[in-house]
Amino acid sequence: MISLKPRSILLISAIFRVGLILFGEWQDTLMEVRYTDVDYLVFSDAASLMASGQSPYKRTTYRYSPLLAFLLIPNSFISRCWGKFLFSASDLFVGLFIHIILKQRKVPDYLCTYSMLIWLFNPFTFTIGTRGNCEPIVCAMILWIIICLINGSFLQFKICVLERQSCNVVQAAFWYGLIVHFRIYPIIYALPIVIFLDPRFFRSGAKPLLSDWTSDQGKARQINSELIDKCIVCDVSKSTFTRSRILFGLISGTVFLLCTGFFFHLYGWEFLHEALLYHLTRTDPRHNFSIYFYHIYLNYERELSVLEKLISFLPQFIVQLVLILCFAKDLVFCFFVQTVAFVAFNKVITAQYFVWFFCLLPLILPWSNMKLKWKGLCCILLWMGAQTHWLLWGYLLEFKGKNVFLQLWMASLLFLAANTFILIVLIRHHNYGPVFRQHTDLKTTKTT
Amino acid sequence: MSSHPQLRLVDIMYVTRTLHFARNNHVLRMKFVLLVPSFEEFDILSFQVETNSDAGKFIMKSYFENYESLHDSSFEDFMAHQLSSSLCQGIPDNWNVGVRLSVRELSLVGEGSHRHLSSSIRLQIGSASIPKLPAHLCEVIVIQRLPLGVFADPFELQIPHKHKAFRDIAVFGDTNLELPSFRSNRSAVEFHIDAGSNILFMQNNGTEFNLLLPLHARYQPLDESGYSIVEIGEPDMLMRCSVEGKQHKQSCLFVSPSNEKAKSTSATVAWKIPAGMKAHAGSVSVITFVTALLSTLSIVYASMFWSGTKVSKT
């Protein structure tokens, strides 16, 4: 059993990432194939445009919030690696937040350590930050929002006149508004958060009680009727407009509108089109992991009817709704399954989207009954296998010029099937439990 | 317009190409027409001078100031009709200089959607007899017009270490990297290569410049065969020399046109790019949606059945 302290793990991860960034710089200068992601060059160019007082949208294919360009302005005068260091630092923060969240829920040390290692030493995650991709920032913010929502102790603002618990709802709302402005996809978490802010747990004057991880995870099968939120709809409608919910909605909405309004004022319609509308209406016919890419390409020359657009949106909508209604109380698991499903059913899937659920995976694994040998390993191999299979056909198409569109499309169908299967397996093996216990004697039983 | 018969454009027997620089009232324009013996036919040269050497630095920039998109006919017109006349100061009328630019080799290197267009340009200077030609600095300008199906990434071309030999490279026209070819317009890449100083003084049998232009294929319109053939023709080439004039620095442009016959047999390279097949459209859409539906139903079933349960370890 590894008995590394979190501090040591973070230190080793930091040194490793610094090394990778330096290696990346070396590779860029000397080798034909660049280590740095193309997107990083886009961000840097946009940042230097912003630094010289111009609109970052003058840089074609810059489709992010101006906040990102703003964060990367030091690229122009400190070092062009500044952004990479920032993203890698966010990466480390994600590791730290994973540790904090699990410790809050009394997960044993060894599991905390494994969870941290799963994130910090996952080849996918450490390359993504060091290559200059901005997703680690998004992940860090999501995890911080989770911390704010489940924690009450050390996050209070001294100046906050509301109670401690409301302070955290305020903080969570602020970061939530910001992240939806930054990346849009976290909007799918809005409903679960609102459901999660249940007045039975979020009572004024008292910190919500976390239900802890116990070693009883997964003893005998038991259908606990109190846990099944059959009447989650009734719950929501009965006391929908509670203080926490209203506060959360108002603050996050205000932050989002303020950010959007401010940048609209600065950069006009170009900002709105590139940073927001593009993502909402994006249909890219170029090949990607999504099952829809070939359908979009074959029909690109004609305008798709409203019915067709609706049909392609329906699976996504239904899955999200059902997952929310079934799992909202177990917020972290809900976020995870929602994100996996969102990515899998999206019209465009690129590899960087996988980070969105990778950062949540270490948070749900302590509650999973699935053992690494052999079910866990099978799932990993299945997922990677389906991806590799797709990549092989993609390579033949893009780098060998063979017409393998049909085979590539079938590979993307297989990839969806693999994602669905793994999602179902994870749901089946998850020990569902609401994050919070009730304050009254009506505690939810978890063991036999 | 000069009355000298050789200097009148209408006397030109063969097609010439000239360029119109930026509409600048202060531009001192000069027209020169020279009949030069060449291998098979007369090469007619004309050039134009500007006082402001920075105006019209990129020829394609001027083209796109006058035209919205790149069409072969518009481009030919632009090159042929934009001619103004005035004399180049300090250059005698009977100056005979043969500047010949030709494409020695044109080929497509690589496989797949990302390839390089390799072209080898030869510059030859015929016998020169201008005793009092002032000092000059020359550059070769190569304009590669690209067809609809491919594009050049302007950001890739800006990477300095890759293109040390070029003084300038720029892409004009539709540089959108993401749209398929049926939603995009043509583009052109303009290279400026240092040819050296005072090269018109001496005869030169041939200097060669090698260009390697990275190109990327766009998504093609649907085709029954599953492939779309895109043809890339030879580049257009000219040479521009900056001459130190009495008052200002002047630019003289040399064009070495080939006649129509030679152009039609000039080399093109063909690029076979995979394209979607219309025959697939119906079944792909149906199967896609059915698969999505099946996945949805599985996830819905699993969520409703297994939420709120505890599973025993096996």
With a CB cutoff of 8 Å and minimum separation 6, the contacts of A106 are A210, A212, A213
In terms of Cβ atoms closer than 10 Å to its own Cβ (0-12, 13-18, 19+), residue B90 is: middle
End-to-end Cα, chain B, rounded Å: 98
How close A315 gets to chain B, by Cα (Å)? 6
Residues A169 and A244 sit within 8 Å (Cβ to Cβ): yes
Provide the mean pLDDT of chain A. Answer: 84
Q: Residue A255: CA atoms inside 13 Å, Cβ hemisphere, count?
A: 18
What secondary structure does DSSP assign to chain B, as a single string? ----GGG-GGG--S----------TT-----EEEEE--SSS-EEEEE-EES-TTTT-SHHHHHHHH-SS--HHHHHHHHHH-----PPTT--TT----EEEEEEEEEEESSTTEEEEEEEEEEEE-----TTPPPEEEEEEEEEEE-TTEE--HHHHT-GGGGTTEEEEEEEE---SSS-GGG---EEEEEEEEEEESGGGS-EEEEEEEEEEEEEEPPPPP-TTSEEEEEE-PPEEEEEEEEE-SSSEEEEEEE-PPPHHHHHTS--EEEEEE---GGGHHHHHHHHHHHHHHHHHHHHHHHHHHTTEE----
Name the amino acid, one letter, at A227.
Answer: L
At B249-267, the pLDDT tens digits run 666 666 554 443 344 456 7
pLDDT at B97 over 80: no
pLDDT at A192 over 80: yes
Q: Which of B127-131, B246-250, B252-256, B268-272 has the highest mean pLDDT?
A: B268-272
The answer, for B14 touching chain A at a CB cutoff of 8 Å, is no
Q: Which of A348, A300, A297, A38 is nearest to B274 (CA)?
A: A297
Kindly state the tokens that stand for A130: 């060091």
Q: What is the CA radius of gyration of chain A?
A: 22
CA distance A117 to A383: 20
Whether residues A428 and B178 touch (CB distance < 8 A) is answered with no
In a mutagenesis test of the A interface, which of B218, B222, B307 is the best target, namely the one with the most A β-carbons within 10 Å? Answer: B307
Locate the chain A residue with the closest alpha carbon to B271.
A401
Cβ neighbours of B280 in A, within 8 Å: 294, 298, 405-406
Residues B184 and B75 sit within 8 Å (Cβ to Cβ): no
Q: What pTM, to 2 d.p., does this model score?
A: 0.82
pLDDT at B114 over 80: yes
With a CB cutoff of 8 Å and minimum separation 6, the contacts of A444 are A211, A224, A226, A227, A433, A434, A437, A438
CA distance A69 to A58: 12
Residue with tokens 């059959």: A230
Q: Between A233 and A182, name the one with better pLDDT.
A: A182
Residue range A334-361: average pLDDT?
94
Residues A244 and A199 sit within 8 Å (Cβ to Cβ): yes
CA distance B195 to B181: 35
CA distance A283 to A300: 9
Residues B193 and B167 sit within 8 Å (Cβ to Cβ): yes
CA distance B86 to B74: 25
Cβ neighbours of B303 in A, within 8 Å: 322-323, 326-327, 337, 427
Integer angstrom CA distances of residue A379 from A117, A382, A385, A419, B70: 19, 5, 10, 9, 52
Q: Which of B82, B75, B72, B88 is nearest to B4 (CA)?
A: B88
CA distance A61 to A282: 13
At A106-117, the pLDDT tens digits run 888 888 999 999
If pLDDT is split at 50, 70 and 90, which confidence band does A151 have?
A: confident
Integer angstrom CA distances of residue A150 from A102, A196, A202, A247, A261: 11, 10, 10, 16, 30
Residues B159 and B98 sit within 8 Å (Cβ to Cβ): no
Locate the chain A residue with the closest alpha carbon to B273.
A401
The answer, for A416 touching chain B at a CB cutoff of 8 Å, is yes
If pLDDT is split at 50, 70 and 90, which confidence band does A202 have?
A: low
pLDDT of residue B80: 67
Whether residues B295 and A417 touch (CB distance < 8 A) is answered with yes
pLDDT at A230 over 50: no
A–B: how many Cβ contacts below 8 A? 174
pLDDT at A224 over 60: no
CA distance A44 to A57: 12
User: What are the helix (H) ranges across A37-134?
Assistant: 38-51, 66-71, 74-77, 82-104, 109-120, 123-130
If pLDDT is split at 50, 70 and 90, which confidence band does B169 have?
A: confident
Residues B182 and B104 sit within 8 Å (Cβ to Cβ): no
Share above pLDDT 70 across residues of chain A, in percent, rounded to a whole number: 83
At A164-178, the pLDDT tens digits run 556 688 899 999 999
Cβ neighbours of B281 in A, within 8 Å: 298-299
Of chain A residues 296-335, which have a CB less than 8 A from chain B?
Answer: 297-301, 311-312, 314-315, 318-319, 322-323, 326-327
Of chain B residues 223-262, which have a CB less than 8 A from chain A?
Answer: 226-227
Q: What is the CA radius of gyration of chain B?
A: 27
If pLDDT is split at 50, 70 and 90, which confidence band does B168 have?
A: confident
Residue range B74-101: average pLDDT?
55
pLDDT at B214 over 80: yes
At A250-272, the pLDDT tens digits run 999 999 999 999 999 999 998 99
Residues A300 and B180 sit within 8 Å (Cβ to Cβ): yes
Among A66-70, B15-19, B46-50, B72-76, the minimum mean pLDDT is found in: B15-19
